[in-house]
Structure 1
Amino acid sequence: MTPKEKDLRLTQLRREHEIIWTFETIGARSKTLRKLAENSAATHRASRDRIRALLIDADQEPPTPDPGYESRALVDTEAMQLRAQELLAQLIQVQLELIPVGTHTVRAQAIEALSELAISSVAWGAPAQAFPGLD
């Protein structure tokens, strides 16, 4: 793992910690979004676990989650959907940055993750984009 990839993986793991916490908070607060939030949290827990394993294999101590994240804005369905879209967009950006610095396998995984993140973003109410993250 190159130093740049390692930095991106650390950022990715921090973002995964936050998005899991946020989805769990949304699931606890919203009956309307509960199922989507639970499914999304489960997906991102699996991603978090994969990233942690990659970092450990690279002799890098994985960061732990923060004790909490900003949640005051999560007051209604629209605000919850918007926050989910923002966090997913951050993960999309990390995946885009991984593509040029990784091996063929890393690039393929990043492209697959981009597809999954785009589908998830649409499920959370974002408009569909042909190439997520590329404006």
Structure 2
Amino acid sequence: MRAPDTARNARPAGAAGAVAPATPAPGAGGGLDTALAAEHAAVYAYGVLAARAEGALRSTMAAAFTAHRARRDRLRAMIIERGGTPAEPDASYRLPAVPSTPDQVVELAVSVERGVTAAYLEAVASGDPAVRRMAALAMQECVVRAYGLRPEIETFPGMPAPASPSPAPTPAPSPPS
């Protein structure tokens, strides 16, 4: 994958440290291109994650790989049906780190799911009801997969985290009387 300072920025919104999909090429629009770029990156990432995991975690990573590959293929078909040209995946993508422990595999997988969730936001706003439905279901699947790996939910999955509130001021001690 190319470095983040190139014309094809690869980091999905709201997914710091996640595998970075390439910026989508012109296709059918309506958010499908952005979602496809994220799915290409997710397929790559889960291939690496499945290879780095063992036992039940490997099965979970393989199932996510299969799910993202199916979603990617459906997005490609939708873009073609709408007269667009789907972008091809990059030859490789930069991972923030190559996971070597089960915890690192889970961390990267959760980050990937959050990034893909964010990538579908534009498609959820599409004027096409079929695109909206597909995108909403894809986001739901990503959130469920992430929750299954780490049972916590972002404030609003797919949206940037709110700014941290300023610490409350503490009253100055009153002078002795």
**Structure 2 length normalisation: TM-score?**
0.65
What percent identity do the matched residue pairs reach? 26
Task: Call closer, same or farther: CA 1:61–1:5 in 2, change over 3 Å.
Answer: closer
Aligned partners of 2:148 and 2:98: how far apart in 1? 20
Match of 1:93 in 2: 118
Q: Which has the larger radius of gyration?
A: 2
> Does structure 2 conserve the Cα–Cα contact (< 8 Å) formed by 1:118 and 1:129?
no
1:43 maps to 2:67: yes
Match of 1:69 in 2: 93
Secondary structure of the residue that 2:153 maps to in structure 1?
A: coil
Opposite residue 121 of structure 2, the aligned amino acid is: L
> Does structure 2 conserve the Cα–Cα contact (< 8 Å) formed by 1:5 and 1:101?
no
May I ask how many residue pairs the two structures share in their alignment?
A: 133
- Which of 12, 25, 32 is equivalent to 2:48? 25
Opposite residue 62 of structure 1, the aligned amino acid is: P
**Structure 1 length normalisation: TM-score?**
0.83
Mapping for residues 54-133 of structure 1, pairs under 5 Å: 54-71=78-95, 72-125=97-150, 127-129=152-154, 131-133=156-158
Shift of 1:5: 6.5
- With 67-76 and 23-32 compared, the bigger mean Cα shift is at 67-76
Which has more helix, going by share of residues? 1
Task: Call closer, same or farther: CA 1:46–1:126 in 2, change over 3 Å.
Answer: same
Aligned partners of 1:100 and 1:5: how far apart in 2? 14
1:48-86 CA-partner distances (Å, limit 9, x unpaired): 110000111222221112111224432222222222122
Opposite residue 53 of structure 2, the aligned amino acid is: S
Opposite residue 149 of structure 2, the aligned amino acid is: W
Provide the aligned C-alpha RMSD in A. 2.3
Task: Call closer, same or farther: CA 1:65–1:126 in 2, change over 3 Å.
Answer: farther
Aligned partners of 1:5 and 1:100: how far apart in 2? 14
Aligned partners of 1:120 and 1:35: how far apart in 2? 13
